[in-house]
């Protein structure tokens, strides 16, 4: 479970209660802009008497708000007016705030938690990585490595922070994380020495390997060879 995402999902409950409960509670902590934006995108307003729906900021026009539909017009409206002007309606029903992520239209922490993952793609190999029995520092470094987040020369060059991305150790290729850990001639020597001593030469990286693919292939091969066969 991602505790950071869970904490954000729980903070969304205060925003929900501040719009649906009477008297309306004040959130105990300041809501961050990401949570506020996600909440705004997760509700729509059904207008009744218009006394609880903000004219400019709330999504009462078919799930959209005027600040999104006519941003140029909304920009010239003062913040005081934008935060106080309500929708006036002659309809007898009360306004209703609807949570989009539940069929019931009511907020739940579980639906908010799941919705915060919508659109995210799973990182190949990350799930298996955290199961490895190794110091947290090693697992965290490898987690950064398989995401390409280590500040190698190639990444510094890509971000315009360095003029040369070659690997000073071998001066043959760009210093990518794959080259640094697997494909450099010096890295190959280290892997050959370590794996030969333990009899795992089958795990030696090939020239076509990348870090994530090689680690997953090695992990599966070790698990397969370590499982006793039944004759």
Q: What pLDDT, on the 0 to 100 scale, is given for residue 89? A: 45
Q: What pLDDT, on the 0 to 100 scale, is given for residue 60? A: 66
HEC-encoded secondary structure of the chain: CCHHHHHHHHHHHHHHHHHHCCCCCCCCCCCCHHHHHHHHHHEEEECCCCCCCECCCCCCECCECHHHHCHHHHHCCCHHHHHHCECCCCCCCCCEEEECCCCCCCCCHHHHHHHCCCCCCCCCCHHHHCCCCCCHHHHHHHHHHHCCCCCCHHHHHHCCCCCCCECCCCCCCECCHHHHHHHCHHHHHHHHHHHHHHCCHHHCCCCCCCHHHHHHHHHHHHHHHHCCCCC
pLDDT tens across 13-44, in order?
Answer: 888 887 777 776 676 667 788 888 888 788 77
pLDDT tens across 202-214, in order?
Answer: 888 888 888 888 8
Q: Where are the domains of the chain?
A: 3-115, 126-226
Can you give the pTM of this predicted structure? 0.44
- Mean pLDDT across 59-79: 73
């Amino acid at each position: 479970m991602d505790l950071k995402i869970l904490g954000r999902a729980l903070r969304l409950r205060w925003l929900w209660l501040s719009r649906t409960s009477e008297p309306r509670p004040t959130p105990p902590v300041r809501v961050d802009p990401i949570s506020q934006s996600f909440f705004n995108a997760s509700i729509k307003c059904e207008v009744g008497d218009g006394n609880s729906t903000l004219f400019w900021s709330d999504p009462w026009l078919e799930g959209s708000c005027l600040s999104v539909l006519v941003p140029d017009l909304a920009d010239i409206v003062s913040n005081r007016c934008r935060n106080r002007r309500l929708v006036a309606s002659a309809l007898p029903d009360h306004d209703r705030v609807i949570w989009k992520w539940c069929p019931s239209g009511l907020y739940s922490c579980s639906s908010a938690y799941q919705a915060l993952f919508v659109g995210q793609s799973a990182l190949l190999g990350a799930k298996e990585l955290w199961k490895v029995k190794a110091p947290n520092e090693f697992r965290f470094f490898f987690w950064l490595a398989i995401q390409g987040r280590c500040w190698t020369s190639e990444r510094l060059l890509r971000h315009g922070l360095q003029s040369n991305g070659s690997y000073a150790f071998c001066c043959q290729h760009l210093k990518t994380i794959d080259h640094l850990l697997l494909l450099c001639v010096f890295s190959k020597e280290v892997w050959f020495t370590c794996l030969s001593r333990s009899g795992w030469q089958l795990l030696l990286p090939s020239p076509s390997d990348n870090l994530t693919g090689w680690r997953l292939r090695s992990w599966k091969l070790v698990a397969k060879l370590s499982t006793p066969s039944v004759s």
